[in-house]
Chain A
Amino acid sequence: TEQPEGHDEL
């Protein structure tokens, strides 16, 4: 899935 930028990082 194309994760929107940055949302798995703090």
Chain B
Amino acid sequence: MNIFRLAGDMTHLLSILVLLLKIYATKSCSGISRKTQELYAIVFMARYLDLFTDFISVYNTFMKLIFIASSLAIVWCMRFHPVVRRSYDRELDTFRYFFLVGASFALALVWHDKFTLQEVFWAFSIYLEAVAILPQLVLLQRSGNVDNLTGQYVFFLGAYRAFYILNWIYRYMTEPRFTRWIAGISGVVQTALYADFFYYYFISWKNNSKLKLPA
């Protein structure tokens, strides 16, 4: 474990806590893409198939459970919670994400570490996570003004993978024969998708103005 990866995991956890705070405090999920939340639930369930077979550490198992439980809880809230579900931007959250799932799985069948169920699903989860934010970014562009907690949620979610890139660079430089091509290339693509959001987020922070993404 190195400082970059710890910072990445803590930033990821923070993004989830901010999202839970927004939904709990405002009893609203306006501005949040349910499709992105569902994609993340799929990402975690596909990535952590080894949850009960490979024990890495208490920290690793604990965080996997947190990620799976929180993503499923958020999807449940947005679908079934009597108050929260009413604020879902159904008519704005229309990204046809089935293509993202299909393309990620097709790519995982072609490019993976080993052709085993666990490795193919792991690669699938890596590719799917790289594009999982797209429905959310599209929703932000359509929904005009973005409330602070939603903006912070997306910011931390994008920042965590940037820390992971620093972690892979650090490990590549300090560990012999360390390679993470699948996660590394996907992580760069994933972080690049946030580039314009980071730009407008920085502008809104510098000008102390409302975060607004151009349509």
Instruction: Check: B91 CB closer than 8 A to any chain A CB.
Output: no
CA distance A8 to B60 in the complex (A): 8
Instruction: Check: B201 CB closer than 8 A to any chain A CB.
Output: no
Instruction: Check: B96 CB closer than 8 A to any chain A CB.
Output: no
Instruction: Check: B196 CB closer than 8 A to any chain A CB.
Output: no
Residues A5 and B60 in contact, CB atoms below 8 Å apart: no
Known A10-B12, A10-B60, A10-B64: A5·B164 in contact at CB below 8 Å: no
Nearest A-chain residue to B44, judged by Cβ: A10
Residues A6 and B180 in contact, CB atoms below 8 Å apart: yes
CA distance A8 to B181 in the complex (A): 15
Q: Give every chain A residue within 8 A of B9 (Cβ-Cβ).
A: 10
Residues B5 and A9 in contact, CB atoms below 8 Å apart: yes
Interface residue ranges of B94-152 to A (CB < 8 Å):
113-114, 119, 122, 126
List 23 contacting pairs A-B, 8 Å CB cutoff, sorted by A: A4-B114, A4-B119, A5-B113, A5-B122, A5-B180, A5-B181, A5-B182, A6-B122, A6-B126, A6-B182, A6-B183, A7-B54, A7-B56, A7-B122, A8-B56, A8-B60, A9-B5, A9-B164, A9-B183, A10-B12, A10-B60, A10-B63, A10-B64
The chain A residues found within 8 Å of chain B, CB to CB, are 4-10
The chain B residues found within 8 Å of chain A, CB to CB, are 5, 9, 12, 50, 54, 56, 60, 63-64, 67, 113-114, 119, 122, 126, 164, 167, 179-183
